[in-house]
């Protein structure tokens, strides 16, 4: 697909979401929240469900949790308009309760189609309900900051899933917030790994939690250095600007 074709396909999904009546959540919504972002991105963030502000605006992660997510992205040199952000359910659960299994199932075809269209290299889960969609049986306490191959049945046919705490949890705990920023710093290395796996010559690589190839560009070297805590030495060696980051497309 071209960029324009992907954008048109995403807008078609969004139009269906806005008129959806597949589950009980549609009865209480102000606006559905299909998701938004760059059609050419390699990274998709998937949260749990819209909250109060999202329901009013029809956009994902626009409240306090969204502001924190933007700061997390900024810590690795990315902007929210360079990624795609959505949720496992597209309408707000009453009183911000957890989404029910049948509600997640009703929305699953929309998420599946979005991932098919975007074909991301990395899917970042935000919170335990998103984690359960992509890493069934995993616990967020033991999985945050780690990644594994994504089940192609989710729609992401050749991707890695990277687990994070939900930003709302980070707002409630300074320790979770600290850990979340540490975890986000590892996403660029996961993206490098995912790119290597997607290359035709690397199609048979055995899944591993370590980068399969050495970074080759200056931007990749900087991003891996940031993720591993060696940024200062790497930047000095390469004589690079500390703000150089791994591009998303």
- Structural domain including 95 reads 3-215
Residues β-bridged to residue 235: none
The whole-number pLDDT of residue 238 equals: 41
Whole-number Å distance between alpha carbons of 84 and 34: 11
| 31, pLDDT greater than 50 | yes
- 36 neighbors 59 (Cβ within 8 angstroms): yes
Sheet containing strand 36-37, strands side by side: 36-37, 84-87, 43-47, 122-126, 160-164, 147-149
| 57, pLDDT greater than 90 | yes
Q: What is the mean pLDDT of residues 60-83?
A: 97
Report yes or no on 157 lying in a domain: yes
Q: What is the mean pLDDT of residues 108-133?
A: 97
239 falls in which pLDDT band (50, 70, 90)?
very low
Residue percentage of the chain with pLDDT more than 90? 79
| 210, pLDDT greater than 70 | no
Report yes or no on 222 lying in a domain: no
Question: How many domains, the chain?
Answer: 1
- pLDDT: is 42 or 226 the higher one? 42
Mean pLDDT of the chain: 87
Q: What is the mean pLDDT of residues 93-106?
A: 96
pTM, 2 dp: 0.83
| 90, pLDDT greater than 70 | yes
248 falls in which pLDDT band (50, 70, 90)?
confident
Report yes or no on 241 lying in a domain: no
The whole-number pLDDT of residue 249 equals: 75
The whole-number pLDDT of residue 230 equals: 47
The whole-number pLDDT of residue 247 equals: 83
Report yes or no on 130 lying in a domain: yes
The whole-number pLDDT of residue 43 equals: 98
The whole-number pLDDT of residue 109 equals: 98
Report yes or no on 230 lying in a domain: no
- pLDDT: is 223 or 99 the higher one? 99
Report yes or no on 220 lying in a domain: no
- 138 neighbors 150 (Cβ within 8 angstroms): no
Report yes or no on 93 lying in a domain: yes
| 160, pLDDT greater than 90 | yes
Report yes or no on 233 lying in a domain: no
The whole-number pLDDT of residue 68 equals: 98
Give DSSP secondary structure letters for the chain.
--HHHHHHHHHHHHHHHHT--SSGGGGG-SS----EE-TT-SEEEEES---HHHHHHT-SS-SHHHHHHHHHHHHTT--GGGSEEEESSSSPPGGGPPPPHHHHHHHHHHHHHHHHHH--SEEEEESHHHHHHHSTT--HHHHTT-EEEPPGGGS-TT-EEEEE--HHHHHH-HHHHHHHHHHHTTHHHHHHHHHHHHSGGGTTPPP-SS-SS---SHHHHHHHHHHHT-HHHHHHHHT--TT------
Bridge-based pairing of strands 160-164 and 122-126 is: parallel
CATH code for position 129: 3.40.470.10
Q: What is the mean pLDDT of residues 105-113?
A: 98
The tally of CA atoms less than 13 A away on the side-chain side of residue 246 is 28
202 falls in which pLDDT band (50, 70, 90)?
very low
Q: What is the mean pLDDT of residues 55-62?
A: 98
Gyration radius of the chain's alpha carbons: 18
């Amino acid at each position: 697909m071209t960029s324009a074709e992907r954008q048109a396909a995403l807008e078609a999904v969004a139009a269906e979401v806005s008129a959806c009546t597949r589950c009980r959540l549609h009865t209480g919504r102000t606006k559905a929240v299909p998701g938004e972002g760059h059609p050419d991105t390699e990274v998709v963030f998937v949260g749990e469900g819209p909250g109060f502000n999202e329901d009013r605006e029809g956009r994902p992660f626009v409240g306090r949790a969204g502001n924190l997510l933007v700061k997390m992205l900024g810590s690795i040199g990315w902007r929210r308009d360079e990624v795609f952000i959505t949720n496992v359910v597209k309408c707000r659960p009453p009183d911000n309760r957890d989404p029910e299994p049948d509600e997640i199932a009703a929305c699953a075809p929309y998420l599946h189609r979005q991932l098919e269209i975007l074909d991301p290299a990395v899917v970042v889960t935000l919170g335990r309900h998103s984690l359960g969609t992509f890493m069934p049986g995993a616990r967020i306490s033991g999985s945050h900051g780690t990644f594994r191959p994504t089940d192609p049945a989710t729609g992401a046919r050749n991707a890695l899933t990277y687990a994070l705490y939900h930003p709302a949890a980070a707002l409630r705990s300074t320790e979770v917030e600290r850990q979340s920023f540490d975890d986000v710093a590892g996403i660029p290395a996961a993206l490098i790994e995912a790119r290597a796996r997607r290359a035709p010559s690397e199609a048979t690589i055995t899944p591993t939690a370590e980068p399969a190839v050495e970074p080759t560009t200056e931007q990749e070297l900087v991003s891996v250095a940031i993720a591993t805590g060696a940024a200062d030495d790497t930047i000095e060696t390469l004589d690079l600007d500390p703000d150089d980051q791994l591009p998303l497309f």
